[in-house]
Amino acid sequence: PLAPPLAAPPASRRRRRADPASWRHRVEWRPKAPAAPPAADALAGVWPLLTPPAGVDDELVNRLSWVVERLGGQVVRLPLAAEDADRARVAEVLEKGVIAEGGTVGGVLSLLALDPAPHPAHPALPQGTALTCALAQALADLRIAAPLWCVTRGAVRAAEGEPGPDPRQALLWGLGRTLALERPDGWGGLLDVPAELDDESLGWLGAALTGPDGEDQLAVRPTGLLAPRLVPAGPAPAAAEPWRPRGTALVTGGTGALGADAARWLAANGASRLVLTSRRGVDSPGAQELLAELGALGARVTVVACDVSERDQLAGLLDSLPGDEPLSTVVHAAGVGGRLAPLTDVSLDEFAATIAGKVAGAVHLDELLAERDVPLDAFVLYSSISGVWGSAGQSAYGAGNAFLDALAARRRAQGLAATSVSFGPWAEAGMGAEPELRDFLRDRGLPPLDPAAAGALLWESVASGETGVTVADVDWERFLPLFTAARPGRFFTELRADEGADEGAAAGPEDADRQATRDRPAELAALPEAERGRRLLDLVRGEAAVILGHATPDEVDAERRFLELGFDSLASVELRRRLMAATGLTLATPVVFEHPTATELTRHLGDLTLRAARATGGGAPAARPSFGVRDLYRQACEMGKFAEGVGLLRAAAKLRPVFRHGEEFGRPVEPVRLATGPAGPALICLPSMVAPSGPHNFARLALHLHGLRDVQALPHPGFGDDELLPATSGLVIDLHADAIRRAYPDAPVALAGYSSGGWLAHAVAARLEARGGAPSAVVLLDTWFPKDRIPEEQIEGQLRGIAVNDQAYALMTEAQVTAQGAYLDLFDGWQPEPVRAPVVLVRAGERMPQASTDEAAGQGLWTTAWEVEHDTIEAVGNHQTMMNEHAESTARALHEWLGALTGA
């Protein structure tokens, strides 16, 4: 029987994830098996070696220079001063010391993190971390994609007997884990070296720099290399007796969601006095209600206005605590995550502020309690998975949480109480409390944690004396392929296969099941036709239900388009992956959009099953290696050769056949229904002209308009397989205008175009008006004015972000990418005609950081400010997220604008 391993998870897995004990993981260090000695030419090119103003001696620099040069690299030493913690200054150093001398940068070796001195303007931030931030930003600014290797000393405790880690060094590991996600093509790794870099350690460091196996977190020791692995922790060890708080408990951030949960547990389990701190004290939102609630539990509660990042304020608070009920428990829940933004968009001041919110209070608590010799039963730190495995857009937050984890480990090594719990997103705090981000995280395999269950795990960890534990409810089958798409790494390779990961850190059939998977086409082909169709339809609906979060397959209407059901590009890739794993078939990347309902997809799977069984005697057709235009284009984007990549697309497009009259296209362009609703006007959407282009560009937006108004999308001719390309832009405009007139001969319509699709929306509106029609509105979804000079780095960032994203790339066919090249030529020089319809520009609120709007306008840069009369709506998010994570907000704003337009 057909038993898809990746359909609705087996009951055992569902039960396991439903058990909060399965949320517990920990990091363990594994010795790396010795590899063959690196070749003498294993490294190549120029290797800048950057050193800080303190913390590094000449012997260390000489030894590291020797090992790089011995392996074939040419070292250029670049010392930095304290005042160089600025991206422009570091870029200038690199330009003068490396770029001006010519040659190719083969790698970058940074010793900057070894400087432990506090930054003069930001005392919570080590000088070395500030310099490393500036270096990473400068490398991005200069478009140097060579691997950046960062050296630390004592950042991790990789083996028994080693001293506790240095939290200041651990900051860099948290930062590095995020850099690996944000700039995978420019990342080498993290290397932690011993206090004395002897000959054995030096040899292992050379092996780390040349290792071919993707390890990017390594502890270099005289005995070899060690690498971290995330492993299941199992239930917390049972304590000899239940732990109960006594005396006074101090909770920093005590009026926030996490601090308040901790306070409730402490009050309910024996703490006689609670002292809660927040910056606003009793004036904090909800503080009065919390006081009443905790008082009803029998605790005496004081809420104090105290900024724990200010040492003097915290010292005064500790000195004011009564002696009759000594302080025995400290919970540090203060600190905020800051805004989501890549490090390249974050200033040093912003980075330091986020670090201070997490780190300064913890440091002051640790030091002030030690000065007062306060014996604690528990010292609890609320940390985050961002410090354990990184989180794109949260460089400072991840670094701060890695600091907290290291602080707990150092305290424990000193014989002091400490427990750090690195949580996934919470349902009531942080990103997990924001509906759009919560949905975004859930789609990527990180559902928010139930506060009661997560809190119970925290206190079990405290009771059992654990130092560090990770608590996250992760759907590994969904999370790992997405998280490791750009940079696979090996951190997750020891997760058990039945938790959804294999040795390659990607979900897939178990080794033992692979032969069974290969045999499934033959098994299906042997079934009667009706039975085969029923099983395949049940499979498709079941998988779709899991992806959409439905309780049963019955909730998936087999006749409705997947796009109407809420499928976006991510969901379509996931469904294809699951169906391939379940059936043993090889499916085309856009299969879900080419066969857009469960019924049609089932029919296609049945055809493929019979074909595969006949062709291979039961096995699926082998995947063909691909070296086509799409692959070369992706490679060009990965290498930073964007002009060459686009040129390749334009050249390839000229070799495709074209149609010069509408009837030659072979069939009319038909709109794809995405949503239905009573309000007018209907919304007709035109996708971007950049691959992957199609109605799926609007799937998230339409999902939030379903039940409100009709939403349909028009695919561009030539982007589908076996389609002819239009010879002129006028043909595209006419075909779309014809399609709209056929679909809505009398009813009002508004035209919406996303990104470059906005040009077409405007052009089609003008054509309809020229024919006597009257479109209700033109909606430009973050569309730039055609004659604007868009910064080259902005274009390159967008193209690279699409091309290297596995989900987007999976939808890019040869037809898609070559059509992109054709449309770039067709609309080169296009300018909008005046239209009578009202125009609205829905502009992404997060725009390019290089210049302010006024500055950009003065330089002729892209500001998405159209020179035709229009309204403007500021959308939440950036160019991509306004249509994905923030699609609900975008849809709501658009619906309200259209309603106001019609008086509805």
Helix (H) or strand (E) holding 110: strand 108-110
Which pLDDT does position 509 carry in this prediction?
34
Distances (CA, A) of 779 to 768, 827, 894: 15, 19, 8
Q: How many angstroms separate the Cα of 491 from the Cα of each of 121, 215, 706?
A: 35, 8, 41
Percent of the chain topping pLDDT 70: 86
Give the pLDDT confidence score for residue 746 in this predicted structure: 84
Q: Are strands 217-221 and 187-193 parallel, antiparallel or unpaired?
A: parallel
CB-based contact 8:545 (threshold 8 Å): yes
Q: 637 pLDDT exceeds 80? A: no
Tell me the per-residue pLDDT of 170-215, one tens digit each, with 9 for 90 and over: 999 999 999 998 888 789 999 999 999 999 999 999 999 998 677 8
CATH for 645-902 is 3.40.50.1820
Highest mean pLDDT among 59-68, 503-512, 839-848: 59-68
Lowest mean pLDDT, pick from 87-101, 311-325, 834-848: 834-848
136, pLDDT greater than 80: yes
Secondary structure (3-state) at 109: strand
Determine the straight-line distance between the first and last CA of the chain, rounded to whole angstroms: 54
Measured CA to CA, the distance from residue 827 to residue 690 in angstroms comes to: 12
| pLDDT value for 847 | 62
**Tokens describing residue 356:** 């201070």
512: exposed, middle or buried (Cβ count in 10 Å: 0-12, 13-18, 19+): exposed
Q: How confident is the model at residue 508 (pLDDT cuts 50, 70, 90)?
A: very low
CA dist list (Å): 541 to 446, 516, 672, 673, 745: 23, 22, 20, 20, 35
What fold characterizes domain 511-616?
Answer: 1.10.1200
Q: Are 20 and 456 in contact (CB under 8 A)?
A: yes
- pLDDT tens-digit series, residues 97-117: 998 877 789 999 999 999 999
Amino acid 5: pLDDT: 30
| Cross-strand bridge partners of residue 189 | 149
Mean pLDDT of 310-327: 93
638 contacts: CB under 8 Å, gap ≥ 6: 185, 800, 803, 804
Contact present, 277 and 306 (Cβ < 8 Å):
yes
Q: 150, 191 in Cβ contact below 8 A? A: yes
Q: How confident is the model at residue 878 (pLDDT cuts 50, 70, 90)?
A: confident
Return the pLDDT at 486.
58
Q: What's the pTM value of the predicted model, to 2 decimals?
A: 0.65
pLDDT in tens, 438-497: 777 777 788 999 999 999 999 999 999 999 999 999 988 778 866 775 566 789 988 843
Average pLDDT over residues 399-426: 96
The predicted structure's pLDDT at residue 439: 72
Residues 218, 181 contacting (CB under 8 angstroms): no
Distance CA 234, CA 255 (A): 31
In this prediction, residues 209-225 reach a mean pLDDT of 89
pLDDT digits (tens, 9 = 90+) for 830-874: 889 899 999 999 998 876 433 333 333 333 333 444 567 889 999
pLDDT of residue 814: 86
User: Over the stretch 530-582, which tens digit does the pLDDT of each residue have?
Assistant: 888 999 999 999 889 888 878 788 889 998 888 778 787 677 778 888 898 88
Mean pLDDT comparison of 236-240, 551-555, 746-750, highest-scoring range:
746-750
What is the model's pLDDT at position 357?
A: 86
pLDDT for res 612: 79
Does residue 218 carry a pLDDT above 60?
A: yes
Pairing of strands 24-31, 468-471: antiparallel
Q: Could you tell me the residue ranges of all domains in the chain?
A: 29-227, 248-431+447-472, 511-616, 645-902
CATH topology match: 29-227 vs 645-902: yes
Per mean pLDDT, which range of 280-284, 635-639, 685-689, 774-778 is the poorest? 635-639
Give the 3-state secondary structure of 626-671: CCCHHHHHHHHHHCCCHHHHHHHHHHHHCCCCEECCHHHHCCCCCC
Residues 103, 72 contacting (CB under 8 angstroms): no
Q: Determine contact, residues 501/484, Cβ cutoff 8 Å.
A: no
Which residue type sits at 843? R
As to burial, measured by CB atoms within 10 angstroms (0-12 exposed, 13-18 middle, 19+ buried), residue 616 is middle
Distances (CA, A) of 58 to 61, 219, 305: 5, 22, 48
pLDDT, residue 201, reads: 92
All residues at 6 or more sequence positions from 98 whose CB lies less than 8 Å from its CB, including other chains:
46, 48, 76, 78, 105
Closest among 696, 857, 690, 728 to 785, alpha carbons compared: 857
> ω into residue 692 within 30 of 0, thus cis?
yes
Sign of CA dihedral 403, 409, 415, 420: positive
Q: Which range is least confidently modeled, 32-36, 508-512, 609-613?
A: 508-512
Cβ atoms of 380 and 462 closer than 8 Å? yes
CA angle 182, 355, 53 (to 5 degrees): 85
pLDDT for the residue numbered 787: 60
What pLDDT shows up at residue 525?
81
Residue position matching structure tokens 């055809």: 607
Q: Report which of residues 255 and 847 the model is more confident about.
A: 255
pLDDT number for residue 355: 94
Lowest mean pLDDT among 416-430, 803-817, 827-841: 803-817
User: How far apart, in Å, are the Cα atoms of 59 and each of 56, 198, 504, 615?
Assistant: 8, 11, 39, 66
pLDDT attached to residue 700? 83
Handedness of CA 254, 255, 256, 257 (dihedral sign): positive
Q: How many CB atoms lie within 10 A of CB 647?
A: 13
Omega cis (within 30) before 232:
no
Find, among 186, 207, 192, the residue nearest to 71 by Cα: 207
Q: Count other C-beta atoms under 10 Å from residue 272's C-beta.
A: 15
* Mean pLDDT for the chain overall: 85
Residues 6+ apart with CB under 8 A from 645: 632, 633, 636, 637, 799, 803
State percent of the chain over pLDDT 90: 55
CATH class of 29-227: alpha beta
The answer to whether residue 894 scores a pLDDT higher than 90 is yes
Rounded to whole angstroms, the Cα distance separating 152 from 113 reads: 6
CATH for 248-431+447-472?
A: 3.40.50.720
Decide if 403 contacts 167 (C-beta within 8 A).
yes
Task: Supply the pLDDT for residue 432.
Answer: 55
